[in-house]
Chain A
């Protein structure tokens, strides 16, 4: 049994169609702002996408094809790589980003909702290009939802396995009978969030263009901004708090919003992962606040509070917006930021990273390990809330964490060829793998990735995609067992 290439082809065709159509809003923006030199750049991409897309979709008949798990892995990986490549073309053709490798990096950063940029001066780029850049975030977030709902559940990837098996109560097991309904519902939440945030930001005094762009970045937990100093450009506290709230919301398990609708807030707050997530945000932000005030880094308490919460919320949800340069903060505050970089957002959200639920399970595994040393004959199950996690799932989660750590090491090894200091090297890898955006030192919130070599940029782009796809999906393709199932 090998990969069913027709299925893959058909889905690629559909993907091309989707990409082609999604470039049209950016084309409209170009026309609105009279950026006529960008129009051909978009057209050169739209037409070669739509035409083959139509042809493939028409000719490859759906009824003959059944997709299997094996195909799923290839489809998922290819979609993200193809999307990143095609998304890079407008940057390249319009001349905004001169090199193809850099365009690919920026586009991958967009679709994987990382938010790492290598553009030295963002404000000099045409608006339509910046619009496309942020729109890739929004598309990427939608793509994640498709991943979560469609493929992860059948592939048994930990993210969805956790959400379906571990979330509280019987309400979570099957939200609605048909898959398409569930996906439709999740899209609805996603679109509603984007729309509401845009409106709220407009009311706060942001232009419609800026509101849209930043809402795209928040909903997808991406982090691209149209300004060089990110959200620090907007000094209004209202705007910063609005963005903070929506970042945190988009880092929550989207399935929980249905629990909220059907069963109310109390039921939703019973979720262990959500509790840990909110507690972690609160605790770290407060500790950072105290540290910053005690070391006199800030003199204004309200600005300090706002910045502490914003930075923590931004990094833990892996968005990557910045209102302050945390690289100049005292080391204690920086360490806490480092901590939330490691944990990531909740599972089944648009955020990235290791995911809170996995961190929770690992902590419980450690606790159980200690308990077993004292009483070796004990039988201690791992519980999240009331649901018990099977040994298989727990092992899978530990495996994932190990693979994550190993990938960070491998990636850092490759990037260290560049010769920059260790903190830069390692945090650049961590931030790309976790789809966060900024790191520390030379890749801090006020810097960009421009100085790295082409090789490093390529490696980091692949790491972004691997991280988005939760590692296994991507690394599977490198295993000979995948391509030839008869091989033992």
Chain B
């Protein structure tokens, strides 16, 4: 298959430019905190990125070419791989002697908004921490989306790329031009980020901590500087802000657009949103009850607060902990596990199977039972008063099967690390759902116990989870590379 070099070159150039500009902030931070080596590292990489990016854009011809369906996945994949590799550079140049596999892990964990770590935060230079949170923020909404919004030259083809990158069943257009849709999404994103930052300023977090945590919570990555479930800076107000803005980040962004344009009814009637909020509500209540009745967790209010924050953290695939979850009762842990698997809403920054697919999953089961009783009945699956097309139902089915197949296969590979079964399962789940944490030894997002192979494999799983697997699996399919080949 002939790769569409023009589009790939163009896309990567844009990405380089954006990253180069984004690196500006850590430079300022490094200079402010007297971290000379990281500052030099950032400056150097920033210069290279901006330079190469600008050159690439300058010399690419402004001609739209058609992208075939499969190619968009390749572009998304290449885009994310390059982004991950470039993101590694600051870690390597920070002068702290981080190994390549560690840097790759941290970079991928940042961009895919997973939030897992192998290098403890206390030892990271502050500018690198800021860089990590910036990668979270950009990766949450999608770097390609940003690329598309700035360069409408990609035109209608941009939608295909966006669909390949954006998680969910379909990329909904908010405006007639894809580039405008992308811009609108980003504007909403920036507004929400600013709001959260302002709300966090009055707490006892330093402004820098507030900024890094804002960037990482709105992108549902996790929390930084507050790891290993230490409750140091966390009072009720802070926890609530984190929780609320994690929800904000994991709601379908189209909903915000509807709110802005006054279509309130559409928002209230949206099944996915209602189910998502319903899961959080029910989950919180059940976990509160479980914590309270198992004793030792304090007052009912304290249980409720922790239950709510934790439910939101896992449901939005943020992945932060407010307590030592390994000690929580089994029922609570099981519900949290189910919530990780369900994930957030489509078209948002969260990961995993996505609520809309879970809803369709249940409706398909119900229809299956009904059809056994009345085999000749014609009963379509309805969602928000629209019938779900066969293609969508089929895609959802395949995706869920693929998710479980990847889970089983990855668990087998991961088990070579010889951790106990619970840890292995949750490691895989944490990666493919981009949650970043789980039960067992990886609690708090600590992946440092794994060998370089384990870390590398986890990084691949994280990418797979973010890109919803197809991009990666397609590379292994012979019919992708040679479309003339007929295979059954």
Q: For A476, list chain B residues within 8 Å (CB).
A: 369, 372-373
Contact with B along A413-447 (1 / 0, CB 8 A): 10011111111010000000000000011000000
Q: Which residue of A lies closest to B423 (CB)?
A: A331
Contact A402 B361 (CB under 8 A): yes
Contact with A along B380-413 (1 / 0, CB 8 A): 0000000000000011011111101100100110
Choose the segment among A164-172, A183-191, A332-340 that binds chain B (4+ C-beta atoms closer than 8 Å): A332-340
Contact B479 A369 (CB under 8 A): no
Taking A402-B365, A409-B338, A479-B373 as contacts, is the C-beta distance between A423 and B479 under 8 angstroms?
A: no
Minimum C-beta distance from B474 to chain A (A): 6
Contact with B along A395-409 (1 / 0, CB 8 A): 110111111011001
Taking A339-B408, A376-B69, A402-B400 as contacts, is the C-beta distance between A422 and B365 under 8 angstroms?
A: no
Q: For A338, list chain B residues within 8 Å (CB).
A: 408, 411, 421
7 closest cross-chain pairs (CB), A and B? A369-B398, A399-B368, A374-B70, A335-B415, A331-B415, A416-B334, A416-B330
B261 at the interface (CB under 8 A from A): no
B120 at the interface (CB under 8 A from A): no
Taking A366-B398, A413-B331 as contacts, is the C-beta distance between A331 and B405 under 8 angstroms?
A: no
Q: For A422, list chain B residues within 8 Å (CB).
A: 330, 333-334, 337, 422, 439
A257 at the interface (CB under 8 A from B): no
Contact A365 B405 (CB under 8 A): no
Contact B330 A425 (CB under 8 A): yes
20 A–B contacts from the bound complex (CB under 8 Å): A332-B412, A339-B412, A362-B401, A370-B473, A373-B474, A396-B368, A399-B365, A399-B368, A402-B365, A413-B334, A418-B330, A419-B329, A421-B422, A423-B421, A425-B334, A440-B421, A472-B368, A472-B369, A476-B372, A482-B373
A24 at the interface (CB under 8 A from B): no
B93 at the interface (CB under 8 A from A): no
B156 at the interface (CB under 8 A from A): no
Contact A374 B364 (CB under 8 A): no
What residues make up the interface of B, taking CB atoms closer than 8 Å to A? Answer: 69-70, 73, 294, 329-331, 333-335, 337-338, 361-362, 364-365, 367-370, 372-375, 394-395, 397-402, 404-405, 408, 411-412, 415-422, 424-425, 439, 470, 473-474, 477, 479-480, 483, 488
Main secondary structure on A side of the interface with B: helix
Q: For A376, list chain B residues within 8 Å (CB).
A: 69
Contact A331 B424 (CB under 8 A): yes
Taking A418-B330, A422-B337 as contacts, is the C-beta distance between A366 and B405 under 8 angstroms?
A: yes
Of the candidates A156, A339, A403, the one whose C-beta lies within 8 Å of that of B368 is A403
In this complex, the interface size class of chain A, counting residues with CB under 8 Å from chain B, is 35 or more
Contact with B along A126-170 (1 / 0, CB 8 A): 000000000000000000000000000000100000000000000
Contact with B along A95-111 (1 / 0, CB 8 A): 00000000000000000
Q: Which residue of B lies closest to A342 (CB)?
A: B408
Contact B70 A334 (CB under 8 A): no
Contact B394 A374 (CB under 8 A): no
Q: For A387, list chain B residues within 8 Å (CB).
A: none
Contact A331 B329 (CB under 8 A): no
Contact B330 A421 (CB under 8 A): yes
Q: Which residue of B lies closest to A295 (CB)?
A: B418
Contact A331 B421 (CB under 8 A): yes
Taking A331-B421, A365-B401, A403-B368 as contacts, is the C-beta distance between A412 and B373 under 8 angstroms?
A: no
Q: For A335, list chain B residues within 8 Å (CB).
A: 411-412, 415, 421, 424
Minimum C-beta distance from A325 to chain B (A): 15
Contact B330 A332 (CB under 8 A): no
A383 at the interface (CB under 8 A from B): yes
Minimum C-beta distance from B340 to chain A (A): 12
Minimum C-beta distance from B354 to chain A (A): 16
Contact A332 B398 (CB under 8 A): no
Q: For B420, list chain A residues within 8 Å (CB).
A: 331
Contact A402 B334 (CB under 8 A): no
Minimum C-beta distance from B150 to chain A (A): 27
Contact with B along A350-383 (1 / 0, CB 8 A): 0000000000001101101111011110001001
A330 at the interface (CB under 8 A from B): yes
Most chain A beta carbons < 10 A, residue from B331, B399, B405: B331
Q: For B402, list chain A residues within 8 Å (CB).
A: 366, 369-370
Q: Which residue of A lies closest to B397 (CB)?
A: A398
A335, B411: Cα distance in complex, Å: 7
Q: For A420, list chain B residues within 8 Å (CB).
A: 330
Contact B373 A366 (CB under 8 A): no
Minimum C-beta distance from B406 to chain A (A): 10
Taking A370-B473, A373-B470, A402-B364 as contacts, is the C-beta distance between A412 and B479 under 8 angstroms?
A: no
Minimum C-beta distance from B483 to chain A (A): 7
Taking A371-B479, A375-B69 as contacts, is the C-beta distance between A479 and B369 under 8 angstroms?
A: yes
Minimum C-beta distance from B458 to chain A (A): 16
Q: For B394, list chain A residues within 8 Å (CB).
A: 369
Contact B477 A472 (CB under 8 A): no
Minimum C-beta distance from B125 to chain A (A): 36
Q: For B398, list chain A residues within 8 Å (CB).
A: 365-366, 368-370
Q: For A58, list chain B residues within 8 Å (CB).
A: none
Q: For B337, list chain A residues within 8 Å (CB).
A: 422
Other than A335-B415, A338-B411, A417-B331, give 5 A-B pairs with Cβ distance below 8 A: A374-B70, A374-B73, A380-B488, A403-B369, A406-B365
A316, B404: Cα distance in complex, Å: 19
A423, B408: Cα distance in complex, Å: 15
Q: For B330, list chain A residues within 8 Å (CB).
A: 416-422, 425
A380, B477: Cα distance in complex, Å: 15
A419, B334: Cα distance in complex, Å: 10
Contact B397 A365 (CB under 8 A): yes
Most chain A beta carbons < 10 A, residue from B73, B334, B405: B334
A335, B425: Cα distance in complex, Å: 10
Q: For B367, list chain A residues within 8 Å (CB).
A: 399
Q: For B405, list chain A residues within 8 Å (CB).
A: 362-363, 366
Q: Which residue of A lies closest to B402 (CB)?
A: A366
A475 at the interface (CB under 8 A from B): yes
A121, B419: Cα distance in complex, Å: 32
A371, B479: Cα distance in complex, Å: 8
Q: For B416, list chain A residues within 8 Å (CB).
A: 331-332
Q: For B365, list chain A residues within 8 Å (CB).
A: 399, 402-403, 406
Contact A370 B375 (CB under 8 A): no
Most chain A beta carbons < 10 A, residue from B333, B374, B405, B412: B412
Of the candidates B331, B397, B480, the one whose C-beta lies within 8 Å of that of A419 is B331
